[in-house]
Amino acid sequence: MLARSNGTELRRLDETQWEIPRQGRMRVPARVFADEELLDAIRVDQSLEQLANVATLPGIVEASLAMPDVHQGYGFPVGGVAATEPPAGVISPGGVGYDINCGVRLLALPLTAAELGARTERLVAALSREIPTGRRGSGASAVPSLGEQELDAVLSEGPRALVARRGIGTEADVERTESRGMLEGADPSAVSQRARERGRDQLGTMGSGNHFVELQRVEDIFDSRAAAGFGLVPEQVTALIHSGSRGLGHQVCSDFVKRMDAKLAGYGIDLPDRQLSCAPIDSADGRAYLAAMAAAANFAWANRHAIAHGVRTAIGGVLGAEVAAGTAQLYDVAHNIAKLETHAGRVLCVHRKGATRAFPGQPVFIPGSMGTASYVLAGTDGAMERSFGTVCHGAGRRLSRAAARRLITGAELRKQLEARGVVVRCPSNRGLAEEAPLAYKEVDRVVEVVERAGLAVRVARLRPIGVVKG
**Model pLDDT, residue 142:** 62
Q: Is residue 405 part of a domain?
A: no
Question: Is-contact 244 103, C-beta < 8 A?
Answer: yes
Q: What is the pLDDT of residues 69-93, one digit of tens each?
A: 999 999 999 999 999 999 989 999 9
Question: Is-contact 215 464, C-beta < 8 A?
Answer: yes
φ and ψ at 453, to 5 degrees? -75, -10
Could you tell me the pLDDT band of residue 135, with boundaries at 50, 70 and 90? low
Instruction: Check which CATH number belongs to the domain holding 131 and give it.
Output: 3.90.1860.10
Which residues, in sequence order, are bridge partners of residue 337? 352
The catalytic residue among 242, 305, 351, 393 is: 393
**Model pLDDT, residue 371:** 84
Could you tell me the pLDDT band of residue 437, with boundaries at 50, 70 and 90? confident
Domain that holds residue 247: 2-398+440-469
φ and ψ at 460, to 5 degrees? -155, 150
Q: What is the pLDDT of residues 355-376, one digit of tens each?
A: 999 999 999 999 998 889 999 9
Cis before 86 (ω within 30) = no
Q: Whole-angstrom Cα distance, residue 243 to residue 248?
A: 13
Q: Is residue 293 part of a domain?
A: yes
Q: Which of 97, 93, 156, 102 is nearest to 300 (CA)?
A: 102
pTM of the predicted protein model: 0.95
pLDDT beyond 80 at 134? no
Q: Is residue 369 part of a domain?
A: yes
- Mean predicted lDDT score pLDDT of the chain: 94
Torsion sign (Cα): 317, 323, 329, 330: negative
Q: Is residue 428 part of a domain?
A: no
Active site annotation includes 71: no
Q: Whole-angstrom Cα distance, residue 253 to residue 292?
A: 9
pLDDT beyond 70 at 8? no
**Model pLDDT, residue 468:** 95
Would you put residue 97 in left (φ > 0), alpha (ψ -120 to 50) or beta?
Answer: left
Q: How many domains does the chain have?
A: 1
pLDDT beyond 90 at 9? no
**Strands 363-366 and 355-357, how do they pair?**
unpaired
Q: What is the pLDDT of residues 177-220, one digit of tens each?
A: 999 999 999 999 999 999 999 999 999 999 988 899 999 999 99
**Model pLDDT, residue 4:** 46
Q: Is residue 411 part of a domain?
A: no
Q: Is residue 418 part of a domain?
A: no
Q: Is residue 355 part of a domain?
A: yes
pLDDT beyond 60 at 140? no
Residues written for the chain: 470
pLDDT beyond 70 at 107? yes
Range with the poorest average pLDDT among 136-140, 247-251, 351-355: 136-140
Task: Identify each DSSP E strand in 189-302 by its residue range.
Answer: 212-221, 236-243, 279-280
Residue type, 348: L
Q: For 376-405, what is the mean pLDDT?
A: 94
